[in-house]
């Protein structure tokens, strides 16, 4: 057992950290206030290999490991969780689904443009009335000759407005329950597909989130992604990997909040001394640093097991559950340690506090993670 990162991984961490500090940190609040993903950042993220982190070199990807992926997502989230979410959703949902279950022709068609950051990927599972109970979706894909016609709408879709390629999950045979659900891959601009309401969000505001609507959207047979009827089962496998990414995002966000709190505690003076001299503040810092290390270990372990080819349903959910709840506490304590200055936008505390809530909700809420873990423990 070796808990150290390799020299290459340490270099990767330093490289992404320096990039995030130089290219992202100065603009974080401007992107947050304008609620726009900065498209001019895409080529820069792609130049570092961050738009195709775990995908094969033959498609232009960086062919990095799942542990490397965690390092990248973590370092982006330490500075801007919303940009990290963009990169995680693009890599871990849309692109992953195509790489895992696409035909050779689909991989050759879509992956090169996704992994080089030419287009952003969107992934549509959630609907207005089907969130945690995703299998209760209403969007249908009905046979039409040898193709399909999609009708329905997807909610809360990351890159719903600005994505170039989308994976959409739809019911193809309602009588078969979750075995009657299939996945489709299509390009934005396809007739019958349109972006609906763009969400005005509490946090993660630089990440694009919107509704996507399908109205008699006709697709040829080449758009079916994976086997007919396997879409929901494949989705659960995509989420097993995706949740490791959200866990890494939570660890990075917690680290950013903890560092901001530590820095402020050393600068801010009350009663004639830095507030870092008070035991109440020291214990908050100590507890957060300890919890973040534990969350990082759970996350890297899930990633390591994924790299070994193991199924990680339980480990991914444990990492996502724990890391996201650790991040919520770190962001809360960050605001508390900043006092009134934690409540205003001149310091990073309030943004971490707003952004963090997404990690206990996206890719399955904390309640759903507990349900997944319990089912695994009980062999259900």
Active site positions, annotated: 363
Q: Is 127 helix (H, G, I), strand (E, B) or coil?
A: strand
Between helix 66-79 and helix 81-89 the angle, nearest 10°, is 150
Q: Is 150 an interacting residue with respect to ligand FAD (CB under 6 A)?
A: no
116 vs 139, beta carbon nearer ligand FAD: 139
Number of residues that bind ligand FAD (CB under 6 A): 22
Rounded Cα distance between 359 and 321, Å, is 9
Stretch that binds ligand FAD, among 29-37, 41-49, 242-250, 360-368 (CB under 6 A): 360-368
In the bound complex, what is the minimum distance in angstroms from residue 151's beta carbon to ligand FAD? 17
- Structural tokens at position 374: 């319990």
Closer of 69 and 300 to ligand FAD (Cβ): 69
Q: Least distance to ligand FAD from the beta carbon of 18, Å?
A: 28
Residue 148's φ and ψ, nearest 5 degrees, are -145, 155
Q: C-beta of 146: minimal distance to ligand FAD in Å? A: 27
Helix (H, G, I), strand (E, B) or coil at 140: strand
Query: Binding to ligand FAD by residue 31, rule CB under 6 A?
Result: no
Q: Nearest Cα to 255, choosing from 17, 3, 75?
A: 75
The CA distance from 204 to 206, in Å, is 6
Query: Smallest gap, in angstroms, from Cβ of residue 327 to ligand FAD?
Result: 15
Q: Contacting ligand FAD (CB under 6 A), which of 29, 135, 285, 361?
A: 361
Site for ligand FAD in 233-262 (CB under 6 A): none
In angstroms, the CA 25 to CA 12 distance is 18
| Closest separation in Å from C-beta 364 to ligand FAD | 6
Indicate whether 209 belongs to the interface with ligand FAD (CB under 6 A).
yes
Q: Interface with ligand FAD by CB under 6 A: which range of 7-15, 32-40, 344-352, 367-375?
A: 367-375
Residues 68-127 that bind ligand FAD (CB under 6 A): 89, 123-126
> How many residues in total does the chain contain?
380
Q: Which of 242, 186, 241, 226 is nearest to 102 (CA)?
A: 226
Q: Which of 54, 158, 288, 299 binds ligand FAD (CB under 6 A)?
A: 158
Residue nearest to ligand FAD (CB): 131
Tell me 256's DSSP state: H
Beta-sheet strands, E only, within the chain: 121-124, 140-144, 147-158, 165-171, 181-187, 193-198, 209-219, 224-225, 269-270, 273-274
Euclidean distance between CA atoms 153 and 160, whole angstroms: 11
368 touches ligand FAD (CB under 6 A): yes
Site string for ligand FAD, 117-146 (x = CB under 6 A): ------xxxx----xx--------------
The one among 59, 101, 156, 264 contacting ligand FAD by CB under 6 A? 156
Asked if residue 163 lies in contact with residue 94, where contact means CB atoms within 8 angstroms, the answer is yes
Nearer CB in complex with ligand FAD: 132/273 = 132
Contacts of residue 241, Cβ cutoff 8 Å, sequence gap at least 6: 66, 92, 96, 306, 312, 316
- Least Å from the CB of residue 286 to ligand FAD: 30
Alpha carbons 42 and 83: distance in angstroms, whole number: 10
Residues that bind ligand FAD (CB under 6 A): 89, 123-126, 131-132, 156-158, 201, 204, 209, 358, 361-365, 367-368, 371
């Amino acid at each position: 057992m070796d808990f150290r990162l390799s020299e290459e991984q340490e270099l990767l961490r330093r490289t992404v950290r320096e990039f995030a500090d130089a290219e992202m940190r100065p603009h974080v609040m401007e992107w947050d206030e304008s609620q726009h993903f900065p498209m001019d950042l895409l080529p820069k993220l792609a130049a570092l290999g961050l738009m195709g982190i775990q995908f094969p070199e033959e498609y232009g990807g960086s062919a990095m490991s799942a542990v490397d992926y965690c390092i990248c997502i973590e370092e982006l989230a330490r500075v801007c969780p919303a940009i990290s979410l963009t990169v995680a959703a693009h890599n871990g949902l849309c692109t992953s689904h195509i790489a895992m279950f696409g035909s050779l022709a689909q991989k050759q068609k879509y992956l090169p443009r996704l992994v080089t950051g030419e287009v952003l990927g969107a992934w549509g599972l959630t609907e207005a009335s089907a969130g945690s109970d995703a299998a209760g979706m209403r969007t249908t894909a009905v046979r039409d000759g040898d193709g399909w016609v999609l009708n329905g709408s997807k909610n809360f879709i990351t890159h719903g407005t600005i994505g170039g390629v989308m994976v959409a999950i739809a019911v193809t045979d309602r009588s078969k329950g979750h075995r009657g659900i299939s996945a489709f891959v299509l390009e934005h601009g396809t007739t019958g597909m349109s972006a609906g309401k763009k969400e005005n969000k509490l946090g993660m505001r630089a990440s694009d989130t919107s509704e996507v609507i399908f109205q008699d959207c006709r697709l040829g047979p080449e758009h079916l992604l994976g086997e007919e009827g396997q879409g929901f089962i494949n989705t659960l496998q995509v989420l097993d990997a995706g949740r490791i990414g959200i866990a890494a995002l939570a660890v990075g966000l917690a680290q950013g909040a903890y560092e901001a709190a530590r820095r402020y505690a050393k600068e801010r003076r009350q009663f004639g001394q830095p507030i870092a001299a008070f035991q109440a503040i020291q214990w908050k810092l100590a507890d957060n640093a300890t919890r973040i290390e534990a969350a990082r270990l759970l996350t890297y372990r899930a990633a390591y097991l994924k790299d070994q080819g193991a199924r990680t349903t339980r480990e991914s959910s444990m990492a996502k559950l724990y890391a996201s709840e650790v991040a919520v506490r770190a962001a809360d304590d960050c605001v508390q340690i900043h006092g009134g200055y934690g409540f205003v936008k001149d310091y990073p505390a309030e943004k971490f506090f707003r952004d963090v809530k997404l990690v206990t909700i996206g890719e399955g809420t904390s309640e759903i993670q507990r349900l997944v873990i319990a089912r695994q423990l009980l062999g259900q």
